[in-house]
């Protein structure tokens, strides 16, 4: 079974919002083993939505619409879908009761009459009542045998409805399972990885193996299709093992969200902590680790040492700055040591470099030193991230390297 | 002229990434006065991409593809587009030189041969060389008179290429001048602004005035269509003046990139500096200011005070923490004062609060105190950002408020 997602909303075409609904639906569908081959975005326009439905009906078995279910005159998804597939509508009493209750409880009793247009649903559908908004959605099968889901646009409502009614409806339609795993790597370029794995990637049909690059990392996606989830898992396991064997310790996780998340869990397991003194990354390491709930258990804190004065305050020696300049292996090492001892952490990170666009007069843009200090040793990785690389990429890659060194140190792998 | 955006990438269909490229392109196109009626997402699949191009060629004048330009075997956009429109390809020497320079400078001289497939471009196109990645894009017109832009998928590369080559190419297609300005505001909700300006917005046809909300801010976009750029500017000027008069000091700039950029320039003009002590924002303020080149002239540094120990190290009094808890008006004030004096800055920011998802047991998620300390006074803004708000939004809004307080203090406006 293959699906097309049709997102309805002029605000998407104007770029006022990002289409997170399509992403969320795609994730859920892939977990259900349903291939999404197409996504279409169309405005609140009857004619063009009808055209989109016509195209989708030719190429997809399952059509899922999001958006256009509200009470205003430009909410026309349900009517348009029903007209396109020749299905009558009926007035759903339960939807009206829900709606009146929703307004009674939450909105001070005021409900305008136009809200009632939301109670019309396709004859013969399975209604999905809305648990956190007003418009109900539904699932049904067209006379031609296409399956259709109609869902609301606001992400919270769409996700809640999909998790309840939508997924149940879809499970009744398919018995194929498609599963994916992401092999997360750091430390080798996409083309080099592809060179190493080309034969395997070309030979594989089911499961498939494909690389994609993201923010200085490369991920390898393994996808299998089978009659059951456990069969799909069994088909993927040897491929994952092969890739891990070929790539070694640059693989930092399977399906882990990020390097920093991996570091967080490694530290949590050991009851260990870290702290960071950041010059060119300017708080990015602190920001990335504290993006994750629960990071306070492993992150003591950080200092953005954006001026030499502040580096001295943290404890870097004036003679080190004098002799080697702020962007140096020696300063990275001292930053790492000082922040570790001063903030009472098990691991200290110290980053100094030239993020650009301008050079500091001594070093090329992209010259970065990342220090890692433990109670026993201090390591420094010297990076040359390239002059064409922009500021944001220099910072992101530097932070990636810092988390990578931390991961490798915790695991006892070679660090610098 | 109406456009269709075709985003190519299996990772989009699997829900691994959100399609921000489509949103960014849609915004740029709407500023250029080009209607986007359709967006399509298709996987790295020759057959389905060919089908998508066929559908788009029937209903759009301009087709823009993103993604599928890289060096790997599933990057097949250019070949497929050329085949679909019957256009030959040529090998671009300048692209190869760029590519070799890119690898020579940034990657230690290692370039695998598969990278060279990126140098093939459609005969007769305008090449867009890639300033922050490897794959070039291009613009051309098909034998049937359709305009086509081919852009890379990574958002940074796509946006840079669109801003340079892409927009220039599109401007050559029309002799109508459509210009936009964005009026940047912080401190009032979208519906309140819409209420205040509704009559003006409804009355205006050319220029138009439309609000859009983004990351806790509201921007008002003024767009004029005219025979010349200067005519368009003259039409927009009185509308911008009216809006500034109506909204007063919540307007922080016209076309300014962000609140932090505004703050940076205000400080630069005055030769003044700031420092930040961040608890719940965990380095986000430091990260956002140091995202901007030249920030070292105004940002002394920051401390991520993620544990009480580190708050004490900075100079917060134990009795203040004891009496009022870490999340309090008093601690925000002391953080701001301590970081200002300790780091020798003119302004100090101190942020403490509950970003969630879990409460600290004393305060609701979204409770945040933002302190601002100057040589003369200390202000604290108490925020209640709402229990339904997620962690990332609490952090973003808190940082916005901190920059807003700094802006208002520098300008002598009421702060807290």
Confidence band, pLDDT 50/70/90 cuts, at residue A234: very high
| Nearest alpha-carbon partner for B89 in B21, B138, B41, B135 | B138
- Report the pLDDT value the prediction gives residue A107, as an integer from 0 to 100: 47
Residue B189 pLDDT level (bands cut at 50, 70, 90) = confident
pLDDT score of A218 more than 80: yes
Of A134 and B47, more confident: B47
pLDDT at B334: 98
Shortest distance, CA A91 to any CA of chain B (angstroms): 32
Q: How high is the pLDDT of residue B233? A: 96
DSSP β-ladder status, A367-373 and A378-384: antiparallel
Q: Which of A22, A210, A287, A393 to mutate to test the interface with B (most CBs of B within 10 A)?
A: A287
Q: Do A15 and B25 touch (CB under 8 A)?
A: yes
Residues of A in contact with B306 (CB under 8 A): 286, 290, 295-296, 299-302
Which run of H or E residues covers position A226?
Answer: strand A217-226
Does B336 score more than 90 pLDDT?
yes
For residues A76 and B293, give the distance between their C-alpha atoms in angstroms, rounded to a whole number: 47
Q: What is the pLDDT of residue B169?
A: 96
How does pLDDT run across B248-304, given as a tens digit for each residue?
A: 999 999 999 999 999 999 999 999 999 999 999 999 999 999 999 999 999 999 999
Residues of A in contact with B305 (CB under 8 A): 301
- CB–CB contact A13 B26 (8 Å): yes
- Give the minimum alpha-carbon distance from B94 to chain A in angstroms, rounded to a whole number: 16
User: Where residue A378 falls among pLDDT bands split at 50, 70, 90?
Assistant: very high
Residues of B in contact with A35 (CB under 8 A): 13
Identify the closest residue of chain A to B131 by CA–CA distance.
Answer: A388
The C-alpha of A307 sits at a distance from chain B's nearest C-alpha, in angstroms, of 6
User: Which chain B residues contact residue A287 at CB under 8 A?
Assistant: 282-284, 286-287
Give the chain B residue whose CA is nearest to the CA of A299. B306
Given a cut of 70, is residue A357 above it in pLDDT?
yes
A78, B52 Cβ separation under 8 angstroms: no
pLDDT value at position A109?
Answer: 56
pLDDT of residue A245: 96
Return all residues near B198 (Cβ < 8 A) that are at least 6 apart: none
Q: Cα separation of B406 and B416, whole Å?
A: 10
* Matching residue, tokens 């808890």: B325
> Is the ipTM beyond the 0.85 threshold?
no
Output the CA torsion sign for B284, B288, B294, B299: negative
CA distance B228 to chain A (A): 24
Select from B114, B131, B344 the Cβ nearest to the Cβ of A194: B114
- 3-class SS of residue B34: coil
Say if CB A335 and CB A314 are below 8 A apart: yes
Domains and CATH numbers, chain B: 2-171 (3.40.980.10), 177-254 (3.30.70.2860), 259-411 (3.90.950.20)
Interchain pair A300, B282: CB under 8 A: no
Q: Say yes or no to pLDDT of B389 above 80.
A: no
Share of chain A above pLDDT 70, in %: 98
Distance from CA of B158 to the nearest CA of A (A): 14
- Best A275, A301, A358 member to test B by mutation, with max B CBs in 10 Å, is A301
On average, the pLDDT of chain B sits at 93
Q: What does the pLDDT look like over A141-157, one tens digit per residue?
A: 999 999 999 999 989 89
- Mark B259-298 as b/e (b = at least 16 C-beta within 10 Å): bbbbbbebbeeeebbbbbbbbbbbbbbbbbbbbbeebbeb
Give the neighbor-by-neighbor strand order of the sheet with A347-353.
Answer: A378-384, A367-373, A347-353, A274-278, A299-304, B299-304, B274-278, B347-353, B367-373, B378-384
d(CA A202, CA A209) in angstroms, rounded, equals 8
Half-sphere exposure of A322 (CA within 13 A, CB side): 3
Measured between beta carbons, the chain A residues lying within 8 angstroms of B114 are 191, 194-195
pTM above 0.90, yes or no: no
CB pairs under 8 A between A and B: 279
């Amino acid at each position: 079974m293959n699906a097309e997602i049709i997102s309805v909303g002029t605000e998407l075409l104007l770029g006022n919002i990002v289409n997170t609904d399509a992403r969320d639906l795609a994730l859920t569908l892939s977990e259900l083993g349903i291939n999404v081959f197409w996504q279409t975005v169309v405005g609140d326009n009857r004619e063009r939505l009808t055209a989109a439905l016509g195209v989708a009906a030719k190429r997809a078995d399952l059509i899922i619409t999001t958006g256009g279910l509200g009470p205003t005159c430009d909410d026309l998804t349900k009517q348009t879908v029903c007209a396109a597939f020749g299905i009558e509508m009926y007035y759903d009493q339960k939807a009206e009761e829900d709606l009146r209750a929703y307004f009674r409880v939450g909105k001070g009793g005021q409900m305008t009459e136009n809200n009632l247009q939301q109670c019309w649903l396709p004859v013969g559908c399975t209604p999905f009542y809305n648990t956190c908004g007003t418009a109900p959605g539904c699932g049904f099968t067209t006379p031609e045998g296409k399956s259709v889901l109609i869902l609301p646009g606001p992400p919270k409502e769409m996700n809640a409805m999909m998790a309840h009614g939508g997924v149940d409806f879809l499970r009744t339609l398919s018995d194929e399972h498609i599963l994916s795993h992401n092999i997360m790597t750091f430390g080798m370029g996409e083309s080099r990885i592809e060179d190493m794995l080309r034969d395997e990637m070309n030979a594989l049909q089911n499961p498939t193996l494909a690389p994609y690059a993201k923010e200085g990392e490369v991920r390898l996606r393994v996808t299998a299709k089978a009659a059951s989830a456990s069969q799909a898992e069994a088909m993927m396991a040897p491929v994952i093992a092969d890739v891990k064997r070929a790539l070694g310790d640059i693989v930092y996780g399977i399906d882990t969200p990020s390097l920093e998340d991996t570091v967080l869990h490694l530290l949590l397991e050991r009851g260990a902590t870290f702290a960071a003194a950041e010059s060119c990354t300017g708080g990015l390491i602190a920001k990335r680790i504290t993006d994750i709930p629960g990071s306070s258990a492993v992150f003591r804190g950080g200092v953005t040492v954006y001026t030499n004065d502040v580096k001295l305050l943290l404890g870097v020696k004036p003679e080190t700055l004098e002799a080697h300049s702020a962007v140096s292996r020696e300063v990275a090492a001292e930053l790492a040591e000082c922040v570790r001892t001063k903030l009472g952490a098990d691991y200290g990170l110290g980053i100094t470099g030239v993020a650009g666009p301008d050079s500091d007069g001594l070093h090329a843009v992209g010259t970065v030193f990342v220090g890692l200090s433990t109670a026993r040793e201090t390591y420094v990785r010297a990076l040359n991230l390239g002059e064409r690389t922009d500021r944001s990429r220099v910072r992101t890659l530097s932070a990636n390297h810092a988390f990578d060194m931390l991961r490798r140190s915790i695991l006892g792998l070679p660090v610098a």
